[in-house]
Amino acid sequence: MRLVAVVARAHQPAPGRKDYTVTSTRTFVIVGAGLAGAKAAEALRVQGFDGRIVLIGDEPHRPYERPPLSKGYLAGKSERGQVFVHPHAWYADHDVDLRLGQAVIGINRVDHHIALNDGTHLGYEKLLLATGSSPRRLPVPGANADGVHYLRRLEDCEVIKEVLATCSKLVVIGGGWIGLEVTAVARQAGVEVTVVEAAKLPLVGVLGWEVAEVFTRLHREHGVDMRLGSQATAIVTENGRASGVQLASGTTIDADAVVVGVGIRPNTGLAQQAGLQVDNGIVVASGLRTNDPDISAAGDVANAFHPFLGRHIRVEHWANALNQPATAAARMLDREAVYDELPYFFTDQYDLGMEYVGHVQPGGYDRVIFRGDVAARRFIAFWCKDNRVLAGMNVNIWDVTDQIKTLIRSWNPIDPSALADPDLPLNQLTQQ
């Protein structure tokens, strides 16, 4: 099955000895106790750092992963304990000072210390910002009413789980990954769902017209009312609670609850206040260092230079938060390291499971080549330019991600008919 090995790796206890003892006076501080922050602490210990590690998060929970919040845990297919990155005891066992429910409110780069919201200060030798992102808020009347939900944190997921167990009509505003995954879970729970999406197709900005149509058909086949090319202009309320969504057309859609998924913003306020370079995230080099050599950034918030792609990109997906921290840890230890993993993400919706690897800017491809049966939703799609593969998405076909990566990295022109032929092994195409 897809991702079994990858997810298992993410949940395994970190390598390294138990009852870790700090022997150095050096202090490394990690701001942001999500997946990226937790994996950075792990990577520092794995790479031999024997100084003090302080991991600070503003949530009350130890670090957890976000994909289950719109997939397995939301759907009731996995237990709460499975969302956490490490067992509770791991932090003490590896001498990681985990501080939860605290916020960092300032960075003094000259004196190398951070200010916390409890009035204390903490010195650092190296600092990693893994501050993540926050949901974009819907700027319409009624958006703050009870019954309007956003999905980002563990508590959000648990509230929406309760909503799906009790409501009959749900409106989802935004046809991106979060919106469509919540929609799929809601439909499988028997909830009537209307999706309101401003674009002509859901996911069209990410996947283009050719593949976005696959997801449109998928949801319509499962009874979702897709209101495409529609703009929500207000949340209709009764007694302070959401009772519907008004569209620009004047139509009002009745609802017991509303879920908003219109994108996220990187949490750059702390970096900006500190005078670090910020542009669609915290700008970092390929080794994930900022313009301050003692401060790095990783995860959703990092706009990193990608050596293979030749430009800065900010990736908002799980694999980035999982894999970037090893590079960041190496650079914090003043070792040479470059992050050049190709962007990767996945989704599960109804009977469709898929993995996507690569990177395509909007309008940056000239054709999509399909291999397999699109109607049966068992295929691979390749985004190409000048017959070179830029990205690939395998739908209900597994164990081909590494082969797709090889096609992308080869940068060789490939015969489109060979790329579309399922009888030709992918690993032979780069040899043609």
pLDDT at 11: 38
Residue 16 pLDDT grade (very low, low, confident, very high; cuts 50, 70, 90): very low
pTM above 0.85, yes or no: yes
pLDDT of residue 10: 37
Provide the pLDDT for residue 5: 32
Q: How many CA atoms lie within 13 A of 172 on its CB side?
A: 31
Q: How far apart are CA 401 and CA 343, in angstroms?
A: 11
Render pLDDT for 91-104 as a digit per residue (tens, 0 to 9).
999 999 999 999 99
Q: Specify whether the CB–CB gap between 353 and 214 falls below 8 A.
A: no
Q: Which pLDDT band, with edges at 50, 70 and 90, does 431 fall under? A: low
CA–CA gap between residue 47 and residue 293 (Å, rounded) = 19
Residue 9 has pLDDT above 50, yes or no: no
CA distance 216 to 51: 52
Q: Does the pLDDT at position 132 exceed 80?
A: yes
Domains, in order of start, for the chain = 4-134+265-332 (3.50.50.60), 145-262 (3.50.50.60), 351-431 (3.30.390.30)
Q: Which residue has the higher pLDDT, 160 or 23?
A: 160
Q: Is the pLDDT of residue 128 over 70?
A: yes
**pLDDT tens digits, one per residue of 288-338:** 999 999 999 999 999 999 999 999 999 999 999 999 999 999 999 999 999
What secondary structure does DSSP assign to 157-225, as a single string?
HHHHHHHHHH-SEEEEE--SHHHHHHHHHHHHTT-EEEEEESSSSTTHHHHHHHHHHHHHHHHHHTT-E
